[in-house]
Amino acid sequence: MQGAENSPTFLSAVLPEALANLFQFDPEGSSSATVVEGFGSSSAVSQARFRCLMPISGFIAKLRGVPAQVPIDHYPALADQSVVAVGDIHGRADLLAELHALIDRYDAESGRPCQEIYLGDYIDRGPASAKVIDMLLARAARKPNSVHLSGNHEAMLLGALADDDMLVGWLEAGGSATLDSYGIPLPALVGDLKAERETIGYALPAAHRDFLRNLGMTHAVGPYFFVHAGIRPGIALKRQSEADLIWIREPFLSSRRDHGCIVVHGHTPQKEPELRQNRINIDTGAVFTNHLTGLLIDSRGATLLRAGRRTGPDG
């Protein structure tokens, strides 16, 4: 498992805006989000937010014009190595197991194991966050060159262990499902929450705490730049803020700028992967759509790997 130079720092200054953005589902403008029963956020209020809150980033993207989709063969091959990036898992250990099986089949057929790059948001909302981290740790033991990046949800959990307001915000954003996966009772959320935060911290296995604290922020391979949410256009890659790397939507999503790389990211769930000239979004909303996506890049170019099936009339 590889980390970046700096572990993620949760910035309380951006939490209110970030939490508002968290409840946007389709940045291309749908007015509601599909919430799979049993896999949504932790309360009826949060469920209502998913269904009713206007997707601000989608509105901005429409005003600016959404960049056109490009064919998958648009993207360059990697001559001497193969990598597979994995989108937001959000506690769906079942879908991760399916995707791992697809990767294992590729490894066996190619005769050369690919490097696995996970884009963050392993936890929250889905039913098996603890199992997902167990699976990632076991996988890293088999493939020590695996890369695990931080998502905003991992940063929120770390923040929740240090601050009462962040604890409340994290639980509203799906953290209660993570607590349940560890067998930790839901905090009462009244009075001084220090004891509640300490209980959660002590209940997390040491290996899981170390995993969360040592996540990287970015990873580059050839012309590809891997990150959870995206980058701020016009800012050098080395000068990007951690807040943007794990939270940004606009102006990144609607940007047509040449970033000097192809940004591979998640964070903003879509029904299908977004294949743009300057970026690839592989967050297909596993916890909402029952569909986890990987992006394989090798000497033949880029290929999408699909696990699960979508629910609803088009599934």
CATH code, domain with 254: 3.60.21.10
Percent of the chain, pLDDT > 70?
77
Res 239 pLDDT > 60: yes
Q: What does the mean pLDDT of the chain come to?
A: 83
In a domain, 67, yes or no: no
In a domain, 156, yes or no: yes
Mean pLDDT of 212-220: 98
In a domain, 32, yes or no: no
Q: Which residue has the higher pLDDT, 310 or 235?
A: 235
Domain membership of residue 294 as a residue range = 12-22+72-308
Percent of the chain, pLDDT > 90?
72
Q: Which residue has the higher pLDDT, 86 or 20?
A: 86
In a domain, 63, yes or no: no
In a domain, 5, yes or no: no
pLDDT in tens, 113-141: 999 999 999 999 999 999 999 999 999 99
Residue 22, φ and ψ in degrees, nearest 5:
-60, -30
Give the neighbor-by-neighbor strand order of the sheet with 115-118: 147-148, 115-118, 83-86, 291-298, 301-308
Res 60 pLDDT > 50: no
Q: Which residue has the higher pLDDT, 32 or 232?
A: 232
Domains in the chain: how many in total?
1
Cα torsion angle, 132, 138, 228, 242, sign: positive
Say what the pLDDT of residue 55 is.
43
Say what the pLDDT of residue 3 is.
44
Res 245 pLDDT > 80: yes
Say what the pLDDT of residue 54 is.
32
Res 44 pLDDT > 60: no
Say what the pLDDT of residue 49 is.
39
In a domain, 267, yes or no: yes
pTM summary value: 0.81
Residue 225, φ and ψ in degrees, nearest 5:
-125, 115
In a domain, 183, yes or no: yes
